[in-house]
Amino acid sequence: MAPVIHALEAARWAESRVVTTGQHGDLVDDPLAFFGVTPNVKLDAMRPGQGLAALTAALLPALDETLRAEQPDLVLAQGDTTTVLAAALACCFRRIPFGHVEAGLRTGDLTAPFPEEANRVVADQLATLYFAPTQRAAEQLRREGKTNHVYVTGNPVVDALLWTRDRVRDDEARREDRRRVLVTTHRRENIGDGLKGVVDAVRALAARGDVEVVLPVHPNPEVEAAVRGGLTGADAVTLTPPMSYPEMVRQLDRCHLVLTDSGGVQEEAPSLGKPVLVMREVTERVEGIEAGSAKLVGTNPSTIIAATNALLDDDDAYQAMANVNNPYGDGDAAARIAARCHAYLEDRPADSPRREPT
């Protein structure tokens, strides 16, 4: 959201206020500092071992009090976290318009990804403005009966990525005998057999001898135990702590290809010309699959290994995935979102309870 925040800060018509909920704790501090974003309100809703129900129960009153105090004319949130769900619901209770950035993504399966699919479905039911990253996402919203204020803007994640890449890119000398494979894995629904399959595949790929694997270990205790238990000491595998956002972009820029079960990485990697193998059974980001920049490989180790080997051993197959225009945006999403917000607030009904745009 940093590009959107900056676009609103630069607009004469808007006064923007940034709220962080604490859902991701200290992980958010470094990227906020990197992008020069200072939160106006910092909530403290997260507790160790907190389940989804308890987190939602903590977020709602905290956000409700924030909305009461701030009296905004419009609230924006991006994505499919529990924070987004709670923000949409709190705005509904206060009758404050809610704009959903990254609206319209669907797998059609409430268990995959879990609970993100449910979060975004509910958020879109409660939203007033819909900022869809792609035409497909906008069409999905219209099929669900959303006929007003549906806009195709691209995803501001691409804006943030390109801005960051230009600041962190360096001339690191690549080792000619090895290519770097970047792996990220953290999906809740993959924990167990799925994660074991990912770990087994990574170990086998690293044993090729001509690749190096970099895997930032997610702090989820179950993920960390499985990854470190299966890969610590493996040749050509570097396990790192969670990376800062600039370092993650640097690694994306340097790597040869990406294995991931993340949603956002499926949008980021194609912007840098990196093929993506998606270690999930379904994805809400179908556009990348259709465009050819990404391929679903699931969590079966044999399938992951075969798909990765094909990209490592067949340059034509690699180039076919690497040279695809990113379907998720061109770097100007934030400006489009800010402009649509302005137009909405200018044209809102005369009986709106809010008068001065903020």
Just list the catalytic residues: 80, 102, 116, 186, 188, 218
CA 195 to chain centre: 20
List the structure tokens of 177.
Answer: 């005998």
Helix (H, G, I), strand (E, B) or coil at 278: strand
CA distance 273 to 218: 25
Provide the terminal-to-terminal Cα distance of the chain, rounded to the nearest Å. Answer: 17
Q: Please, how many CA atoms are within 13 Å of residue 345, restricted to the half-sphere of its CB?
A: 21
DSSP assignment of 144-172 equals TT--SSEEE---HHHHHHHHHHHHH---P
Number of C-beta neighbours around residue 348 at 10 A: 16
CA distance 36 to 349: 35
Selection from 246, 242, 116 nearest residue 184 by Cα: 242
CA distance 300 to 201: 8
Helix (H, G, I), strand (E, B) or coil at 258: strand
Positive or negative, the CA dihedral 323, 243, 329, 262 is positive
Strand bridging mode 41-42 / 98-101: unpaired
Helix (H, G, I), strand (E, B) or coil at 224: helix
